[in-house]
Amino acid sequence: MMSPSNQASDSAAVGTPFLELRGVHKRFAGVHALRGVSLTIEAGKIYHLMGENGCGKSTLIKIIAGAQPPDEGEIIIQGKSYGSLTSIESLSAGIETVYQDLSLLPNLSVAENVGLSEQLVRHQGRLAHALDRKRLRETAQRALAAVNLPTTAAFLGTPVEDLPIATRQLIAIARAIAVQARMVIMDEPTTSLTRREVDNLIKVVEDLRQQGVAVLFVSHKLDECYAIGGEVIVFRDGQKVRQGPINSFTKKEIAQWMTGKPIEDTRYRHVTAAGEPLLTVRALGLRSAFDDASFVLGRGEILGITGLLDSGRNELAKALAGVEPADRGGIELEGQSVSLRRPVDAIQAGIGYVPEDRLDEGLFLDKPIRDNIVVAVLDRLRGALGWLNKSESDQLANKIIADLQVATPDIDRPVKSLSGGNQQRVLIGRWLTIQPKVLILHGPTVGVDVGSKDTIYRIIQRLADEGLGVIIISDDLPELLQNCDRILVMRKGNITRSFRADNVQEGDIYKEMLAEGISKEAA
């Protein structure tokens, strides 16, 4: 962790503007993404940037980080004015950005990912010479310790692509600490973190603040923002609509400023008796991941499964989808035994799976929206000669877009052009094309704004009401409490407790997640 002596002396004092934006505009192909945005970021303060997907948050971050130039306006960093920034200028000024996609280099080691930016800054973006391996290692060890990750030689040398997404998230944050930044931008930094890891991150953010670092924290998770404190900046339609101390505003007020309409923080699910058994899981296990998982999912039921990162919940989800097949136990669907050794087995059985990481594991970002929707049923859409029937493909894609309220003017646009909430609806829609009996949603609203969450939750409720069995894997406890009939808690690879979602408090679930020992209760 950096020391105060490493900060700029007078200019880093709390209350002194580190960064100012004045009248910033940005347009993309007729879309006015930012409309005269002006704001001030002071050293040693925490800011929460909030707004619906598509409101201009990502564009603002990219302009500050030097990834995109503004069309109009002025950027002032510690009194120096810029019309636009390059990435190296932004880094050299002390601004480090942890993007939602992490922007890590998967084939490089942990140490290289953490320490590389620091050496790039030292040499003004040029690494014509060999890396200083000793400095790289020392920088990485210091930064990793600050986020409570291992500092052993084995961990430092591990390729990032071999690590789980939650660990990669912390590595990206450690990289920001490594460059001794004066301002850190964190774009959805807790999307893959469990509550314990979030608590750790909150401590890291507070340490940064105490050392005079400005933190711009982009998140849709209001509870975490309230726990961190500081100021909230609310965007809507490319404009700043509100700013002030976050604890002086209610959740409903912030949600209404974000969306322009009131959003009720109420339970979506009205518990009814589950239908006949649809999916029966008996003593399912996977070595070193989970053991003896047994439960029944009824027709039309929404079942939540939660636990800490090492609880086995992620691996169980992948086993049910045939992504990481179980090595023991059995699965029955509508009373018939099914073998899920590959994803195609799950698809043929009628099980759809929306993965946790839609960007890397779910979507073909450069492909059209249409292709992303119909890819699971291409064989059904081929004619006698093997050609894809475009008319039927368009019809199916347009039906899904209408049913799931995907906001797009054209199904030929690349799916990466959509906001996070719309991308998630496209991914859910893909699996509805197979007419599934069971839909597994792994983190269904990760990186999704409050308005899109409301839409997705209502879609999930409708699907269950129509007889679909739904499993939600999530560590977002409010999400589970709002949407599920029952919630299973996993700990140390075992299902330890079953709760009725309409009759339990968030604290009771979290206590069960953290409890020591295994005291199993029938699921």
- 430 in Cβ contact with 373 (< 8 Å): yes
DSSP string, 387-453: -B-HHHHHHHHHHHHHHTT---S-TTSBGGGS-HHHHHHHHHHHHHTT--SEEEEESTTTT--HHHH
φ, ψ (nearest 5 deg) of residue 441: -110, 110
Q: Is residue 26 situated within a structural domain?
A: no
- 232 in Cβ contact with 240 (< 8 Å): no
Q: How many residues does the chain have?
A: 523
In three-state secondary structure terms, 131 is coil
Task: Please indicate, yes or no, whether residues 340 and 373 belong to a single structural domain of this protein.
Answer: no
Task: Please indicate, yes or no, whether residues 367 and 303 belong to a single structural domain of this protein.
Answer: no
pLDDT of residue 3: 39
Q: Is residue 21 situated within a structural domain?
A: no
Q: Is residue 264 situated within a structural domain?
A: no
pLDDT of residue 91: 85
Q: How confident is the model at residue 12 (pLDDT cuts 50, 70, 90)?
A: very low
485: domain CATH number is: 3.40.50.300
Q: Is the pLDDT of residue 53 over 80?
A: no
Domain that holds residue 141: 44-65+86-259
φ, ψ (nearest 5 deg) of residue 168: -65, -35
pLDDT of residue 192: 66
pLDDT of residue 377: 86
Q: What is the pLDDT of residues 408-438, one digit of tens each?
A: 888 999 988 887 788 888 999 898 999 999 9
Q: How confident is the model at residue 511 (pLDDT cuts 50, 70, 90)?
A: confident
Question: Percent of the chain scored above 70 by pLDDT?
Answer: 90
Task: Please indicate, yes or no, whether residues 223 and 291 belong to a single structural domain of this protein.
Answer: no
Task: Please indicate, yes or no, whether residues 53 and 119 belong to a single structural domain of this protein.
Answer: yes
Can you list the positions of beta strands (E) in 120-200?
Answer: 183-187
What are the respective helix, strand and coil percentages of the chain, to the nearest 5? 40, 25, 35
Which range, 211-220, 321-330, 475-484, is most confident? 321-330
Mean pLDDT of 395-400: 91
Domain boundary among 225, 259, 293: 259
- 14 in Cβ contact with 43 (< 8 Å): yes
Beta bridge partners of 31: 28
pLDDT of residue 282: 95
Q: Is residue 19 situated within a structural domain?
A: no
Q: How many domains does the chain have?
A: 3
Pick from 10-19, 127-136, 244-253, 483-492: least confident: 10-19
φ, ψ (nearest 5 deg) of residue 189: -75, -15
Predicted TM-score (pTM) of the model is 0.66
Task: Please indicate, yes or no, whether residues 195 and 327 belong to a single structural domain of this protein.
Answer: no
Beta bridge partners of 40: 20
Mean pLDDT of 188-211: 80
Q: Taking the mean position of all CA atoms in its chain, how far away is CA 161? A: 17
Task: Please indicate, yes or no, whether residues 322 and 376 belong to a single structural domain of this protein.
Answer: no
Q: Is the pLDDT of residue 517 over 60?
A: no
Task: Please indicate, yes or no, whether residues 413 and 496 belong to a single structural domain of this protein.
Answer: no
Mean pLDDT of 457-477: 91
